[in-house]
């Protein structure tokens, strides 16, 4: 039997691929918006007079804060997670090709244009608990590729 609609199957595949790409893009945008909230970090920054404006300058200002939160391990952990999500947000907005991706275990990873992945929340927790690595230095390294 002759196919009366040549290319019809290919059109469906292309449409499915486009839909899949659009839903992945929408999911990544939703992740970006959600991760940018960083409530505890924003509260701490505001009380210290630091404006979080999604720039490397705001990361530098965070790096310069006195780490009073280290007295409370629970606060350090939550603050570290927020710091990592904020770091990822700044990278996502400032480094071409950077995007969020969920790891198989649900951890948010920042994927650079080169394909290199950063575990942003682990970096943020290390920053909150130990002061290193500095958030601005991680951003600069991500921008260097």
The overall average pLDDT reported for the chain is 85
Rounded to whole angstroms, the Cα distance separating 27 from 142 reads 22
Question: What are 88-139's pLDDT values in tens digits?
Answer: 999 999 999 999 999 999 999 999 999 999 999 999 999 999 999 999 999 9
107 inside domain: yes
The CATH number of the domain where 20 resides is what? 1.20.120
- Predicted TM-score (pTM) of this structure: 0.79
* Residues 116/69, Cβ–Cβ less than 8 Å: no
| Domain interval for residue 17 | 8-144
Buried-state track 80-93, b at ≥16 Cβ within 10 A, e below 16: bbbbbbbbbbbbbe
69 inside domain: yes
Work out how many domains the chain is built from and give that number: 1
């Amino acid at each position: 039997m002759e196919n009366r609609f040549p290319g019809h199957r290919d059109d469906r595949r292309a449409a499915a691929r486009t839909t899949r790409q659009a839903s992945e893009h929408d999911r990544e945008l939703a992740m970006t918006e959600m991760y940018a909230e960083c409530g505890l970090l924003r509260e701490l920054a505001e009380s210290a007079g630091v404006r979080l404006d999604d720039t490397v300058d705001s990361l530098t200002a965070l790096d310069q804060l006195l780490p009073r939160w280290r007295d409370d391990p629970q606060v350090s952990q939550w603050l570290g997670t927020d710091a990592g999500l904020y770091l990822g947000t700044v990278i996502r907005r400032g480094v071409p090709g950077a995007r969020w991706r969920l790891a198989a275990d649900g951890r948010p990873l920042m994927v650079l244009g080169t394909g290199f992945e950063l575990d942003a929340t682990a970096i943020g927790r290390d920053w909150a608990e130990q002061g290193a690595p500095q958030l601005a230095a991680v951003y600069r390294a991500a921008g260097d590729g």
